[in-house]
Structure formats: structure tokens, C-alpha cells
Amino acid sequence: MTKEAPVAPAPPAVLRLADFVVGAPNLHSDEALRRSRCAVLDTLGCMLAGIGEPVAQTALATVSPWGNGSATVVGSCATLPPPWAALVNGAAAKAFDFDDWDDPGITHTTATLLSAILAVADGECDTGNGLLDAHIVGVEVIARIGEAMNPNHYARGWHATSTIGAIGAAARG
């Protein structure tokens, strides 16, 4: 009688997700790049339309006294420290709630992702490929976590755009 070797437990989900983020290729399919470009352009349009709205103007007025920085507020002449630019750009992107939607993530992915990506990328010289890569990987992270957690996460009162979106935004930043 032979003894079977013990089976090693699967690594925790967070380690598998981290391995994916670190190992994700920078070369994405044409379809992924096309979808990413469309989502980014759509969200830039939402930011441009929303920057004049009270929610975005209030956010900008609140954080502006805290100092200038290297990150651009889309649709304005303002530059702020990256966290504050991300906040204002996110508020502008969400002002009309026309931004894209992801299911099963139950999130508005690109408003969260692009706000963070632009804030970090503003200090970098990039052709746009890095921005699209960060967006594609962030969307995948949000989708994977969303699929694992929803609809229960949302049904319990959590706003997945904020909770899951923040993790996706940190993925390639």
C-alpha cells in the first residue's frame, strides 16, 4: 500500500491576485486594448462634462488650499498633489453617473481607475500604453474580486465602486 503525498493547500486568494498583478503581461489582446481605449475616452468625457458641476467644484475648492502638485485636474488649469487630483477627477467623472458599469463587479470601474491612474501617470512620461495596461489590469482585478464578493457585498450595503474599485486602482499604480 502506497501512501499518497499530502496536497498542499491553495495559496490565499490575495496571494493569487498579487501573483496575477505582478505577472500580468504588458501585451494585451487587440480587443482588450480597444475596450480600454473606449472606456478611458468615455470617462475623460465624463470628467470634462462633470468638472463644472457642484460636486466637482466643491471638491476642488476644498482641496485647492492644501497645495499645488504635479497631477492635473482634467478640464481645468489646476494641478494638485496626486491624491487630491484623483479625488476631484473622480468626483467630476461621477457627477452625472454616465460612467461605465461592470458586472459582476457591480462597480463603475473606469471612474475609479482612471482618476487614480491619471494622478500617478501625470508625473511619468508615457505614450499611453502604460495607462491602458494599468486600466486593463485594474479592470481585471475589480472583476475578479467583484465576482467573488457580489452580489452579497452590494446587498449588505457596501458601495462596490468605492471598496472594490480602490483595490483595482492600487493594482498597477
Q: Is residue 11 included in any domain, yes or no?
A: no
Q: Is residue 102 included in any domain, yes or no?
A: yes
Identify the CATH number of the domain in which residue 101 sits: 1.10.4100.10
Q: Is residue 92 included in any domain, yes or no?
A: yes
Q: Is residue 106 included in any domain, yes or no?
A: yes
State the chain's mean pLDDT as an integer: 89
Residue 80 has pLDDT above 70, yes or no: yes
Q: Is residue 128 included in any domain, yes or no?
A: yes
Q: Is residue 17 included in any domain, yes or no?
A: no
What residue numbers bound the domain in which 99 lies? 30-171
How many domains does one find in the chain? Answer: 1
pTM of the predicted model as reported, rounded to 2 decimal places:
0.87
pLDDT tens track for 48-75: 999 999 999 999 999 999 989 999 999 9
Give the Cβ contact number of residue 131 at 10 Å.
Answer: 21
pLDDT tens track for 124-156: 656 688 899 999 999 999 988 988 888 898 889
